[in-house]
């Protein structure tokens, strides 16, 4: 070998060792920006997508919607249904190298229950106390039987965070979150990117094939897809239904979809501050008229090209929890006009806030036109999604369009939204009879009894309409062909274990 060739070989080897190309980065385009990255405080769907990579939970949800082990390896209920004992996975570390053990679980659950800013309080409201019964075993003692607790622990309420980081950062935990997932937090630039990197000591690290994950919020679906096609992104969530055919026909891309367990809805400000003082918030007849003025099937066929179905409940029509005695209403303009007149109006002005993505905007423009024919003069206020949720919480809205990604247990689609002290009851709707029915549904282990309670509550809610349901869409993803191993799930999460690039 000549001196020149040896030099070239050494140079090439040196370049390869230094090359960032050896590090596999996955760039994921999100429809919205996440809100605060604290499982105790956050509420956005995209935040949950980020957590799926960053924050392991006590239990997870499988693609066939079963509760499966994650940080907890097994669990058992007491005979009276008031105690849940969980055995924890040993040898798990948080991203700050502190141990994930029973003490950490107790600290996280207590933080979720007591932190003033926590949105998990209603999800854990049945818990009287949680205690460490050994280094790797915890026991939840409940005030009353609550079969929904396991499902709550499969989401943010069950994401275990570092007690050390939580104590140091308090309510500012979201500025540098520390969890026990496959990827750890690196940086966040609001409205621009969230960057995570592989956690070398992850307990299931043999299934992690990506070194770095960058999430980029791109509300415009057309721009999101263009970035995927150009190679700026490797994967996008919530592909527009109108682009499904072109993605399927693109040899460089892979299309995935699955019907989701959530819903699309309009939230009415019933009693959340001064802005509740508007006709729609004060008179259920106007809310009923608004709902009747919408042609749900036409709406979902036009906007979602047949990939979504119309709905009027928190459960889709194919769900076992759907109340068949309350079928999705057909459009009835004459009845809507009669209700408006009965309420003492000819025209009803209303401001509706909507998220700044084209699909939602198109849908709400169609709704705006539909309800105008009945007598509603709707003005649309477009805002970034995290801001929209913040305004909902603050009561700075009259009518707001927001989607819910859905939960495995029916309680997760309903209780926290409509009970008097529900953690995300932005409408501030309060009906003691509904509270009683939903609390009783939580306590029963008999599915038939639970169904009866949900049906009864649904009948009241369908009359009061604090939430006007529009329908149920499919989750749709598109990825570059070189990305493999992704399994679509009805909960809409992007689980990265087993995912490879290249």
Chain-centroid distance of CA 475 in Å reads: 12
Residue 214 near residue 27 (C-beta atoms within 8 A): yes
At 379, is the secondary structure helix, strand, or coil?
strand
448: its two tokens = 């038939």
Residue 209 burial by Cβ neighbours in a 10 Å radius (0-12, 13-18, 19+): middle
For the chain, 502 residues long, give each residue's pLDDT as a single digit of tens.
443 344 344 444 444 444 444 689 999 999 999 999 999 999 999 999 999 999 999 999 998 888 999 999 999 999 999 999 999 999 999 999 999 999 999 999 999 999 999 999 989 999 999 999 999 999 999 999 998 999 999 999 999 999 999 999 999 999 999 999 999 999 999 999 999 999 999 999 999 999 999 999 999 999 999 999 999 999 999 999 999 999 999 999 999 998 888 999 999 999 999 999 999 999 999 999 999 999 999 998 899 988 898 999 999 887 889 999 999 999 999 999 999 999 999 999 999 999 998 899 999 999 999 999 999 999 999 999 999 999 999 999 999 999 998 888 999 999 999 999 998 999 999 999 999 999 999 988 888 999 999 999 999 999 999 999 999 989 999 999 999 999 999 899 999 999 999 9
- Cα 153 to Cα 7, 84, 336, 427, distances in angstroms: 58, 12, 42, 25
pLDDT at 122: 87
**Tens digit of pLDDT for each residue in 351-373?**
999 999 889 999 999 999 999 99
pLDDT at 10: 41
Give dist(CA 252, CA 269) in Å, integer. Answer: 46
CB within 8 Å of 293: residues ≥ 6 apart: 331, 333, 336, 370, 371, 373, 374, 376
CB within 8 Å of 180: residues ≥ 6 apart: 55, 56, 71, 92, 93, 94, 95, 100, 160, 162, 202, 203
pLDDT at 2: 44
CB within 8 Å of 376: residues ≥ 6 apart: 289, 290, 293, 340, 347, 348, 350
Q: Write the DSSP symbol of residue 22.
A: G
The domains found in the chain, sorted by start residue, are 23-29+181-260+475-501 (3.40.190.10), 56-163 (3.90.76.10), 263-472 (3.10.105.10)
Give dist(CA 102, CA 149) in Å, integer. Answer: 18
pLDDT at 22: 65
pLDDT at 419: 97
DSSP strands (E only) in 318-448: 348-355, 376-383, 399-404
Give dist(CA 356, CA 218) in Å, integer. Answer: 10
Residue 23 near residue 212 (C-beta atoms within 8 A): yes
Q: Which of 165, 202, 206 is nearest to 40 (CA)?
A: 165
């Amino acid at each position: 070998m000549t001196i020149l060739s040896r030099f070239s070989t050494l140079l090439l080897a040196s370049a390869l060792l230094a090359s960032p190309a050896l590090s596999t980065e996955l760039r994921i385009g999100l429809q919205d920006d996440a809100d605060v990255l604290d499982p105790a405080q956050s509420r956005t769907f995209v935040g949950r997508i980020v957590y799926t990579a960053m924050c392991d939970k006590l239990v997870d949800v499988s693609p066939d919607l079963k509760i499966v082990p994650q940080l907890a390896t097994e669990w058992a209920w007491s005979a009276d249904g008031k105690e849940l004992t969980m055995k924890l996975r040993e040898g798990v570390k948080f991203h700050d190298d502190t141990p994930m053990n029973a003490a950490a679980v107790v600290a996280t659950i207590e933080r979720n229950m007591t932190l003033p800013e926590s949105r998990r309080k209603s999800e854990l409201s049945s818990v009287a106390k949680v205690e460490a019964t050994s280094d790797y075993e915890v026991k939840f003692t409940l005030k009353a039987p609550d079969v929904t607790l396991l499902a709550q622990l499969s989401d943010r309420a069950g994401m275990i965070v570092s007690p050390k980081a939580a104590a140091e950062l308090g309510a500012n935990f979201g500025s540098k979150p520390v969890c026990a997932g496959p990827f750890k937090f690196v940086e966040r630039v609001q409205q621009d990117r969230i960057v995570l990197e592989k956690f070398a000591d992850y307990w299931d690290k043999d299934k992690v094939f990506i070194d770095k994950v960058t999430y980029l919020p791109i509300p415009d679906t057309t721009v999101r897809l263009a970035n995927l096609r150009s190679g700026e992104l490797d994967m996008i969530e919530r592909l527009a239904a109108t682009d499904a055919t072109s993605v399927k026909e693109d040899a460089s891309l892979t299309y995935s979809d699955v019907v989701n367990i959530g819903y699309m809805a309009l939230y009415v400000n019933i009693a959340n501050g001064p802005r509740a003082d508007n006709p729609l918030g004060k008179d259920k007849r106007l809310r009923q008229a608004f709902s009747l003025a919408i042609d749900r099937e036409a709406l979902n066929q036009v906007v979602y090209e047949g990939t979504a179905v119309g709905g009027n409940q928190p459960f889709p029509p194919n769900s076992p929890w759907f109340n068949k005695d309350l079928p999705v209403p057909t459009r009835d303009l004459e009845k809507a006009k009669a209700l408006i007149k009965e309420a003492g109006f000819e025209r009803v002005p209303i401001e509706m806030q909507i998220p700044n993505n084209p699909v939602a905007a198109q849908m709400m423009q169609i709704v705006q036109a539909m309800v105008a024919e009945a007598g509603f003069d709707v003005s649309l206020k477009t805002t970034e999604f995290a801001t929209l949720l913040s305004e909902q919480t603050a009561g700075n809205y009259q009518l707001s369009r927001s989607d819910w990604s859905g939960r495995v247990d029916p309680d997760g689609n309903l209780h926290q939204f409509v009970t008097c002290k529900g953690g995300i009851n932005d409408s501030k709707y309060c009906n003691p009879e509904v509270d009683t029915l939903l609390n009783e549904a939580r306590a029963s282990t008999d599915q038939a009894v639970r169904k009866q309670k949900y049906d009864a509550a649904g009948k009241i809610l369908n009359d009061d309409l604090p939430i006007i349901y529009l329908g149920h869409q499919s989750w749709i993803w598109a990825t570059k062909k070189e990305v493999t191993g992704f399994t679509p799930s009805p909960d809409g999460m992007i689980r990265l274990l087993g995912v490879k690039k290249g």
